[in-house]
Structure 1
Amino acid sequence: MFLTNEALHQKTPQEITALLYEALLLNLEDAVTYIEEKNYIDANEKLQKASDIVHRLGAGINYEAGIIADQLEQLYNYIADKLVEANFKKDKALINDIIAVLKPIMESWNQAMKSNRDVQSKDVKQKVNVYENYSMYDN
């Protein structure tokens, strides 16, 4: 996955979070593959990248969101701790546990983004209809 700086700047914070989740998952899956191949150097690199992504996700938490923000912080801290342990031990089971925790969050995030887009589309349509109706009576 490669994005230019210009393309990245055009993304919403929500879209960037979705991209980070995707990159995190890909790095974790690649690390499992490398461990299976006993390629521990590349597995280490992928797990370090995954750890960097988790830290970026944590830095982007909006604490005005309330309890969910605190829960996400705890979850990211848990994942970060498990990543260090998985990398030290080169343990596929730990990585798969992280993936099992990550996937529902990622799916929920993507679903929330999709639902939010749908709502926005309806709002925009309603505004356009109001404008069109007003314009018809204006003449």
Structure 2
Amino acid sequence: MTQILTNEALHKKSPQEITALLYEACYNNLELAIKAIDDKEFTKANDFLQKANDIIYRLGGGINYEAGIVADQLDSIYNYMADQLIQANYTKNAELVKVVLNLLTEIMTAWNQAMKKNTDIQPKTIKQKANAYEQTSIYE
């Protein structure tokens, strides 16, 4: 089910909730792309794959590299997914899209479980450094 958010409702979401929404939107676009490829509607498939790839790009841009190796690994996965979607779009190969969909499903499921637990194990000093960076970068 597609849900449309107003700007006001979107601004009330936490960064974690926005990330969850991005995962959901990417998932929906991938499913629609697979259906469009199967139906030989290649123009629609192109649109859905481009949207999914844009979302993956945005997710990659939001990675906090202060988090350590997990952040680097997630970046590699996002890059792999983006490459696969470009290839899938070029060849209109639904199987490549399904590989990305499976990876995204695992990441999305883990993200949603982490949000439900809502425990933060990041050291306080790293948070302070990240917050200081965010505050100064906003005004530069």
TM-score by length of 1: 0.83
Corresponding residue of 1:51: 53
Specify the alignment match of 2:43 in structure 1. 41
The two structures, once aligned, show a CA RMSD in angstroms of 1.1
Task: Structure 2 unaligned segments of length 5 or more: list them.
Answer: 121-140
Q: State the alpha-carbon separation in 1 of the partners of residues 69 and 13 from structure 2.
A: 26
Query: Shift in Å at residue 29 of structure 1?
Result: 0.3
Q: 1:10 aligns to what?
A: 12
Q: Residue 45 of structure 2 aligns to which amino acid in structure 1?
A: A
1:2 is displaced (CA, Å) by 1.1
> Higher helix share goes to which structure?
1
Pairwise CA distance, 1:16 = 0.4
Deviations along 1:5-45, one digit per CA (max 9) or x if unpaired, are: 11111000000000000000000000000011100000000
**Count of matched residue positions in the alignment of Structure 1 and Structure 2:** 118
Q: How many percent of aligned residue pairs carry the same amino acid?
A: 58
Kindly name which structure, 1 or 2, has the bigger radius of gyration based on alpha carbons.
1
Other-structure match for 1:113: 115
Q: TM-score, normalised by structure 2?
A: 0.82
State how far apart, in whole Å, the 2-side matches of 1:20 and 1:78 are. 18
